[in-house]
Structure formats: structure tokens, C-alpha cells
Amino acid sequence: MKEKIQKKMYELSYLAEIIISVVIYAIIAIGIAKIVIDMLNPDISWYREDALNYFLNRALSLAVATELIKMLCRHTASSVIEVLLFATARQMVVEHYSPVQTLISVVAIACLFATRKYLLSRSDTEDLDN
């Protein structure tokens, strides 16, 4: 009886992950449409200093969300590392860190790359090739 309940809960959690992925995907599609509309908007001044930052923030947030969907679908250690890589790189590009914070971010990204290369087994990284 206990195993049956555990199996049903696992199946429901898998279904919830799929539903969450679909919702995130819909939000990503809306975000992409909003970026395109904003790019075509003649009222936006491309000479303003924060225009590029605005678009980078939105585009990189969508990239992180896309990687999150992959992580929810794949369930591998490599997909978790990819999400962390994208999120750390996004923060480093969009936010204007102090030199020490930037150095810490670079070291964190290097550690994530090293972890992916040297500590993951072949089964964890085979999804990277597909």
C-alpha cells in the first residue's frame, strides 16, 4: 500500500513538473513577443544608456528560464549545472558588480565548468551531446 501511494505521488509530481514547464514556456513566449514589440517601438530611445541593459536583462532572463525548463525535463546533474552557469553569467552581465564580486562570479563559473568536465559521469553528460 505504501509503495502504491509513493508511486502515485511520484507520477503526480512528474505531471506537476510538466505543467510548470508548459506555464514557464508560455511566459517565455510572451516575453519574447514583448521584447520584439519593444524593439519595434519608436518611442524607445536607443541612445539612452539603460536601453541595452533593459534588453539584456529581459533576453538573458528568458535564456535562464529556457534552461530551467530543460532541467525540469531532463533530471540530470549536467542540466542543473547549465542552469547555474546561465544564471551566474546573467547576473554578471546585467548587474554591474564591483571588481571583487565579478572575480567571485568568474571563479564560480570556472568551478561549474570544472565540475561539469571532471566530476560528472558519462551518463550525466550524455544529454549535452544531444
* Confidence band for 31, pLDDT divided at 50, 70 and 90: very high
What phi and psi, each to the nearest 5 degrees, are found at residue 121?
A: -80, 170
- Asked if 93 contacts 106 with a C-beta cutoff of 8 angstroms, the reply is no
Q: Tens digits of per-residue pLDDT, 71-129?
A: 888 888 888 999 999 999 998 888 888 899 999 999 999 999 999 888 887 766 655 54
**Number of domains, the chain:** 1
pLDDT bracket for residue 55 (50, 70, 90): confident
Provide the whole-model pTM. 0.77
> What are the tens digits of pLDDT across the range 1-20?
889 999 999 999 989 999 99
Residue 77 is part of which domain span? 2-129
Phi, psi of 42 (to 5 degrees): -75, -10
